[in-house]
């Protein structure tokens, strides 16, 4: 149950007479109703309020639920005098109070600011009568200004103001608003709405009970909000945790028969030397030796710490103008084009063919990882990760993601990742067969996280 649902439930118990017990010594609503009518007649006679047309009799079919015997169904206009406030220009309303502008100004949604005069004095419930939130209830005290969008609920000092505020809120008056672009509540409609009337003493006990519950509901709301935030974050946090387990060698067991990372590393170096000799790869400067201080965590014995540039060849793509990238594929523009944040569209040529991880190297999301297959075009903002067909592409992508490469970006208005920096980053290297088992386990667990995420949204 959400906090709002809990509040609504408490108000529903209150309005049905189930929140506090009834006490015969407190009299009846019929007696209170008679006092209210007598007071209205006195005010009409003195010219302080206008005589209104009688409201329709209440039929049994109109009553939405049963109420205690001591209570009475009435129309709002029978026990309250409802008057909309007066128009005031926005230029006369100030955000901060001052010696001149010291009176609170209430509009349809509550306090609008401060003004230099007041048009009401006392303790009143206010009904918002304009806009999407019309029907909302506020309480005003002392000297204040009510605008034309606020309906002042005069209770003749014979009902409890806070009781009236809570019961009016429970009635959900918004349902009686006009269904227009700018919803509104007409006073002529509000006065016909039914409200259950308890004796005055019981009204006060109802208010006391509601106000005792509210701090508990507020505490519940804080706890509920934290839980909701946790539930919202949980699938993503779980993904990160799973990736950390994977990169530390804790996701699957190690198997001696699968060889060692040292053996795989030797194969990769031999392949690099072959490609350099054939002129397919440029010879690069040796990368710094890895020190013990650099290693962020322990890895299994069969694994090996390496720098990215030692096991991958990283090359940024080529520039292409936005005019040559199309949103939809066609016979001419059939190749996917990858930028720093993934697919940008379709182009007429490709500059890469195969299965590769891509590292985004420009913008706020630089360091993000994508997978490209087949023939595609990589722009200058996408770094293609060539694995020499000796490491698993999906393993590389998952581990690169776990490294959070964004942390190595330049701290500028337009963050960027330099290839010369990326190649120095450390990555733990498992044997190839274990890489494939890690990927298989990751795909299984991450799919579960996605299903969990969908259930929670």
Does residue 313 contact residue 388 with C-beta atoms inside 8 Å? yes
Report d(CA 153, CA 162) in Å as an integer.
Answer: 11
pLDDT tens-place string over residues 328-341: 999 999 999 999 88
Measured at the CA of 244, the angle between CA 242 and CA 247, to 5 degrees, comes to 110
Q: Looking at residue 231, what is its pLDDT?
A: 66
Report d(CA 162, CA 210) in Å as an integer.
Answer: 10
Report d(CA 363, CA 341) in Å as an integer.
Answer: 9
| Pair of tokens at residue 449 | 């996280």
Identify the three-state secondary structure at position 164.
Answer: helix
Q: Looking at residue 161, what is its pLDDT?
A: 96
Q: What residue has token string 């709405």?
A: 193
Q: Is the pLDDT of residue 455 over 70?
A: no
DSSP 8-state code for residue 416: B
Q: Looking at residue 456, what is its pLDDT?
A: 59
More confident position, 201 or 178:
201
Q: All domains of the chain, ordered by start, with CATH?
A: 3-215 (3.90.220.20), 255-432 (3.90.220.20)
DSSP 8-state code for residue 301: T
Q: Which long-range contacts (CB under 8 A, 24 or more apart) does 217-224 make?
A: 217/3, 217/6, 217/7, 217/10, 220/3, 220/6, 221/3, 224/2, 224/3
Q: Is the pLDDT of residue 298 over 60?
A: yes
In 3D, which of 261, 273, 255 has the Cα closest to residue 306?
Answer: 261
Q: Is the pLDDT of residue 230 over 70?
A: no
Does residue 389 contact residue 268 with C-beta atoms inside 8 Å? no
Intra-chain end-to-end CA distance of the chain, in Å: 16
Chain-centroid distance, C-alpha 76:
37
Give residue 143's pLDDT band: very low, low, confident or very high (50, 70, 90): very high
54 CB neighbour count, 10 Å cutoff: 8
Q: Looking at residue 133, what is its pLDDT?
A: 81
More confident position, 416 or 429:
429
Q: Is the pLDDT of residue 218 over 70?
A: yes
| β-strands 352-360, 382-386 pairing | antiparallel
DSSP of 45-66:
HTTSS---PPPPPPPGGG--S-
Report d(CA 196, CA 168) in Å as an integer.
Answer: 10
Q: Looking at residue 372, what is its pLDDT?
A: 96
**Residue 107 forms beta bridges with which residues?**
110
DSSP of 185-229:
--HHHHTTSEEEE--HHHHHHHHHHHHHHHHHHHHHHHHHHHHHH
Element spanning 6, H or E? helix 3-15
pLDDT tens-place string over residues 85-135: 999 999 999 999 999 999 999 998 899 999 999 999 999 999 999 887 889
**Average pLDDT of the chain to the nearest whole number:** 92
pLDDT tens-place string over residues 264-280: 999 999 999 999 999 98
Give residue 32's pLDDT band: very low, low, confident or very high (50, 70, 90): very high
Lowest mean pLDDT among 153-162, 189-198, 413-422: 413-422
In 3D, which of 221, 307, 230, 239 has the Cα closest to residue 268?
Answer: 307
Element spanning 14, H or E? helix 3-15
Q: Looking at residue 262, what is its pLDDT?
A: 96
Task: Read off the pLDDT of each residue in 149-159 and give the average, rounded to a whole number.
Answer: 94
Please, what is the angle between helix 200-247 and helix 393-402, to 10°? Answer: 130
């Amino acid at each position: 149950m959400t906090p709002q649902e809990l509040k609504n439930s408490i108000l529903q118990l209150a309005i049905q007479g189930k929140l506090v017990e009834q006490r015969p010594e407190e009299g009846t609503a019929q007696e209170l109703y008679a006092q209210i009518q007598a007071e209205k007649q006195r005010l009409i006679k003195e010219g302080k309020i206008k005589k209104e047309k009688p409201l329709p009799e209440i039929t049994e079919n109109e009553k939405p639920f049963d109420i205690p015997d001591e209570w009475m169904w009435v129309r709002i206009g029978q026990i309250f005098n409802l008057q909309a406030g007066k128009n005031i220009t926005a230029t006369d309303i100030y955000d901060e109070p001052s010696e001149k502008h010291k009176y609170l100004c209430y509009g349809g949604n509550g306090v609008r600011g401060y003004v230099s005069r007041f048009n009401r004095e006392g303790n009143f419930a206010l009904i918002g009568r304009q806009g999407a939130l019309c029907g909302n209830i506020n309480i005003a005290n002392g000297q204040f200004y009510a605008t034309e969008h606020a309906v002042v609920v005069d209770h003749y000092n014979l009902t409890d103001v806070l009781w009236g505020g809570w019961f009016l809120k429970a009635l959900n008056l918004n349902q009686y608003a006009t269904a227009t672009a700018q919803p509104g509540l007409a006073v002529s409609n509000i006065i016909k709405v039914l409200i259950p009337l308890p004796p005055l003493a019981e009204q006060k006990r109802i208010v006391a009970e509601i106000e005792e519950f509210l701090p508990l509901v507020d505490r519940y709301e804080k706890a509920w909000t934290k839980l909701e935030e946790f539930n919202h974050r949980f699938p993503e946090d779980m993904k990160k945790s799973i990736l950390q387990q994977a990169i530390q060698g804790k996701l699957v067991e190690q198997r001696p028969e699968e060889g060692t990372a040292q053996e795989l590393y030797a194969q990769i170096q031999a392949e690099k030397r072959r490609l350099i000799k054939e002129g397919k790869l440029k010879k690069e400067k040796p990368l710094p030796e890895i020190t013990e201080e650099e290693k962020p965590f322990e890895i299994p014995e069969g694994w090996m710490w390496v720098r990215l540039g030692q096991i991958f060849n990283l090359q940024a793509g080529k520039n292409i103008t936005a005019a040559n990238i199309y949103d939809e594929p066609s016979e001419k523009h059939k190749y996917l084009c990858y930028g720093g944040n993934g697919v940008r569209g379709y182009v007429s040529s490709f500059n890469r063919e195969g299965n590769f991880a891509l590292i985004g190297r420009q913008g706020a999301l630089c360091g993000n990882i994508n997978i490209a297959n087949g023939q595609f075009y990589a722009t200058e903002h996408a770094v293609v990760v060539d694995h020499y067909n000796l490491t698993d592409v999906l393993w590389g992508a998952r581990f690169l993601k776990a490294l959070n490469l964004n942390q190595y970006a330049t701290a500028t208005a337009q963050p960027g990742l330099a290839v010369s920096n990326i190649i120095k980053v450390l990555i733990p290297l498992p044997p190839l067969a274990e890489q494939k088992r890690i990927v298989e386990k990751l795909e299984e667990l991450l799919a579960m996280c996605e299903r969990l995420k969908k259930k929670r949204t």
